[in-house]
């Protein structure tokens, strides 16, 4: 049984057969990937953030929740860009689960723009919420821990890892952080924690 089913998926309608099948197929795919920095636990936290953010924003959960669950599929170790593969794998699962073309396209649009390195900016409310939810899990102490798990998976040394951390922090700052008001409130203390940690790390490594 799916981990997300065991958690009750935050009260989301589990009577939807398409959605139940999507969960099972997605879980199998994530297990096959075996990437610890972007595993089921990360997905569950992103789904929870999506649920929080959607309570103050009138989003369509039939788009938002599948997008949150599928957004990191297709990732590979040592891959520079995973987004095209993520959408390809997600589309296959959505089609197998019986989703119609319109809904599939709306879900895929969210996945395409969820990363700070995506070539597209989030346009729909659901895409903005997914972007914010994913970023919330990349900040704070959990975000720091996940980043260094990722660094190990990518084979980065400490210098390479800190350079990448600095790049991400700088890029997120230029993007003004978050789209939704609730995410800005939740993200502020998490961002302070991350910045404080990396600031001390940069000092010890004598990086400006």
pLDDT at residue 131, as a whole number: 94
Q: What is the pLDDT of residue 5?
A: 55
| Percent of the chain residues topping a pLDDT of 70 | 85
Question: What is the model's pLDDT at position 86?
Answer: 67
163-200: pLDDT as tens digits: 888 888 887 777 667 899 999 999 999 989 988 998 89
Q: Choose among 145, 126, 129: nearest CA to 190.
A: 145
CA distances from 97 to 10, 16, 25, 181 (A): 21, 10, 8, 33
Residue 44 makes CB contacts below 8 A (sequence gap 6+) with: 3, 4, 7
Q: Set out the domains of the chain in order of their start, with CATH numbers.
A: 3-204 (1.10.3210.10)
What is the reported pLDDT for 78?
A: 46
Closest CA to 142 of 186, 79, 111, 204: 186
At residue 134, the pLDDT reads: 93
pLDDT-flagged residues of the chain (< 70):
1-15, 76-86, 175-176, 207-208
Give the count of alpha carbons within 13 A of 153, CB side only: 19
Predicted local distance difference test score (pLDDT) of residue 206: 78
């Amino acid at each position: 049984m799916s981990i997300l089913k065991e958690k009750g998926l935050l009260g989301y309608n589990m009577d939807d057969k398409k959605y139940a099948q999507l969960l099972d197929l997605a879980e199998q795919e994530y297990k096959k990937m075996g990437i610890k920095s972007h595993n089921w636990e990360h997905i569950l936290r992103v789904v929870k953030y999506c649920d929080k953010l959607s309570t103050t924003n009138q989003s369509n959960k039939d788009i938002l929740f599948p997008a949150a669950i599928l957004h990191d599929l297709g990732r590979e170790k040592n891959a520079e860009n995973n987004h095209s593969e993520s959408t390809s794998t997600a589309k296959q699962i959505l089609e197998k689960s019986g989703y119609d073309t319109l809904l599939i396209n709306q879900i895929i649009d969210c996945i395409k723009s969820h990363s700070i390195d995506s070539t597209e900016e989030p346009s729909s409310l659901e895409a903005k919420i997914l972007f914010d939810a994913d970023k919330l899990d990349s900040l704070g102490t959990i975000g720091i821990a996940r980043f260094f798990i990722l660094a190990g998976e990518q084979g980065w040394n400490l210098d390479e890892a800190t350079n990448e951390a600095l790049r991400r922090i700088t890029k997120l700052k230029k993007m003004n952080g978050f789209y939704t008001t609730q995410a800005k409130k939740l993200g502020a203390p998490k961002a302070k924690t991350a910045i404080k940690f990396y600031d001390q790390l940069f000092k010890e490594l004598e990086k400006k």
